[in-house]
Structure 1
C-alpha cells in the first residue's frame, strides 16, 4: 500500500510517500481501505512536535477518515467486508492513521457510515464533531438528540472553524438557540450557513452588549476555543449556573480566572480533550452523531458553512500547511 509517513518531527517537508506492506486484521480489529482523510490541527502539531510526543518510529498521520471495510478480525461483528465506515482517533495508540491506502483500527474506532452520508462528510466527523458533542454535553444534557437542547441558548466561540461549525450544527439539531462569534463578514456568512441563529462580529462592536441583548438572562453553555482571551466576555454573558466548555487554547495558554466573578454566577468550567476521553463518553458521541447523520442533520461544504479543500495523497504536506495557516474550511486528503 501507499502511505504518507514521517520518522522525525519538523516541518511538512519531513512527510514522504512510501510503499508499505498491507496491514492485516488482528483480533478486534478492522482493516479499512481509506477513501478520504480529514486533516485537523492535531495532525500538523503532532508532526511538528508542538506540545506532543510520539513513541513510534515511523507514523502515518491522520485521526479522521472514511472508506470501505477490507477485512475484519475475530470478535468484530458490527461491520463486515464491503461496508462503508468512518474512522475516529485512528492515530491514537497506533502508528498508522488515515494518510494510507489501508489502515488497521480497533473496532471501536470504526463506525458504520449511513448511506445518505458521503465519504467526504465521514472524513470530516471525528475530531470536530466528537469534540463538539463533548462540549455540548458538558452542560444541561448528557446526550444529544433532536430537541434535547430546546429552550437553551448556546454560544459558540469561533463559529467558522471546524469544531465551531460542528458545534453549531449539533446544537441546532438538538434544538438550541445558537449564537456564535466571528472575526469577519466572510466568517459571519459561513456561520449563518452552518445554522447559527445569531452571529456577532467581535471585531466590529461590543460583543458582550450584543450577546446580552440576544440573551438577557445569559447563555446556558459556551463552547470556547480561546478561554484566556475571552474570559471577561464569558463571565459577562454566561447565566447563573452556566457552563463554559473549553477545547483549545487559542489566544493564550494561561487562563487567569477572576474567582469571585465566577463564584457569583455558580459557573462550571469543563475541559475537553479526545485523547483522554472516557470510553463511555466516546461511545455516546458516536451514537448521537450517527443518529444526527441518519436524520440528515449534518453537512459539509460551503453550503454548510465549511468550504472543502481537497489534496491528493502525494500533496499531504501542503494539506498540513493549509491547516497550520488557518485556512477557513475543511481540508481533506483524497486517498482513493
Structure 2
C-alpha cells in the first residue's frame, strides 16, 4: 500500500510517500481502506515537534478520516466488513494514521457512516466535531449530552465561526436548539458562518461588538466556544451571563491571558480548558454517539454552501496539505487517498 510517513520531527518536508505492507488488524481492531483523510492543526503540530514526543520509529500521520472496513480482528463481528465508517483519533498513541491507503484502529474508533453521507463529511468530523461537542457540554447547568432540544433557550457564542471547530459548534448548537451567535473578522467569514447556520454574525473588528451581542442576548451568553482566549477574553466577559461558561480549545495568536480574578468570581465564571486527548473515554464516547446522531439527521454537512470550504490534495501532496493548514487556510483541508 501507499502511505505517508515521517521518521523525524520537523517541517512538512519530513513527510515521505512510501510503499508498506498492509497492516493486519489485531484483536478488537478493524482495518479500513481510507478514502479521505482529514488534516487538523494537531497533525502538523505533532509532526513538527519538539513539544510532541514521537513514540514510534516511523509514524503515519492524521487522526481523522473516512473509508470502508475491509478486515476485522479477533472478537469483531465479521459483518462489519464492507461498512462505511468515519475515523477518530487514529494516530493518537499509534503508528497508523489515516494518511495511507489502509489504516488499523480499535473498532470503536471506526464509527458507522450512513450510506447517504459522503466521505468528505466523515473525514471532517473527528477532532473538530468532538471538540465542538465538548465545548457545548461542560457548562455547570448545561446538558452533558446533545440532542434536538438539549440547548433550547440557551445562547451560544461561537468565536471564529469560519474555522473547522467553530463551524461544528454552530452546526451542533443549532441542531440542539440553541440561539447561535458567531464572531468573525470580515464579510467573507460572516458569509460562511451564516451558511453554517449561525442565527447572528458579529464582526468583532467593527462598531461595538459588545453592544451588538448584548442586543441579541440581553441576559448574556450561556456558553462561549473560544478559539483565541487571549485576544477575546475581554469581549467574552463583557457578554457572558452570570454562571456562564467559556470553553476554550485554542489560543490562536498566542496572546498571554491575564485574569481579573475578582470579576470572574463575581460572575461565577466557569473557564473550561479542553483537549480531546485528556477529555476522558466517557466524554469522548458520549460525543461520538451524539455526533453520529447528528450525522444521521443531516445536521453536519460540509462544503462551501454549508459554510466549510474544502481544500483538497492527493496523497502524494500531503506535505502541501500540511502547509495549507499551517497557513490557516479557511475551511477544511482534505487528502484524497483513494481516487
User: Could you state the TM-score of these two structures normalised by the residue count of structure 1?
Assistant: 0.98
Are 1:24 and 2:24 matched, yes or no? yes
The alpha-carbon deviation at position 255 of structure 1 amounts to: 2.0
The alpha-carbon deviation at position 51 of structure 1 amounts to: 3.0
Look up the SS of the partner of 1:90 in the other structure. coil
Match of 1:104 in 2: 104
Look up the SS of the partner of 1:105 in the other structure. strand
Match of 2:128 in 1: 128
Measure, in 2, the Cα distance between the counterparts of 1:205 and 1:331.
32
CA contact (8 A) 2:231 2:255 kept: no
**Structure 2 residue corresponding to 1:167, chosen from 166, 169, 188:** 169
Which stretches in structure 2 are left out of the alignment for 5+ residues?
A: none
The alpha-carbon deviation at position 335 of structure 1 amounts to: 0.5
Measure, in 2, the Cα distance between the counterparts of 1:79 and 1:49.
40
Are 1:145 and 2:147 matched, yes or no? yes
Q: Which moved more, 1:280-289 or 1:199-208?
A: 199-208
Distance 1:86 1:243, change over 3 A: same
Measure, in 2, the Cα distance between the counterparts of 1:78 and 1:149.
39
Alignment of 1:1-336 (within 5 A): 1-49=1-49, 51-77=51-77, 80-139=80-139, 140-252=142-254, 254-336=256-338
The alpha-carbon deviation at position 84 of structure 1 amounts to: 0.2
Look up the SS of the partner of 1:127 in the other structure. helix
Measure, in 1, the Cα distance between the counterparts of 2:178 and 2:79.
33
Distance 1:238 1:79, change over 3 A: farther
The alpha-carbon deviation at position 213 of structure 1 amounts to: 1.2
Look up the SS of the partner of 1:236 in the other structure. helix
CA contact (8 A) 1:242 1:266 kept: yes
CA contact (8 A) 2:72 2:78 kept: no
The alpha-carbon deviation at position 134 of structure 1 amounts to: 0.5
User: Could you state the TM-score of these two structures normalised by the residue count of structure 2?
Assistant: 0.97
How many matched pairs? Answer: 336
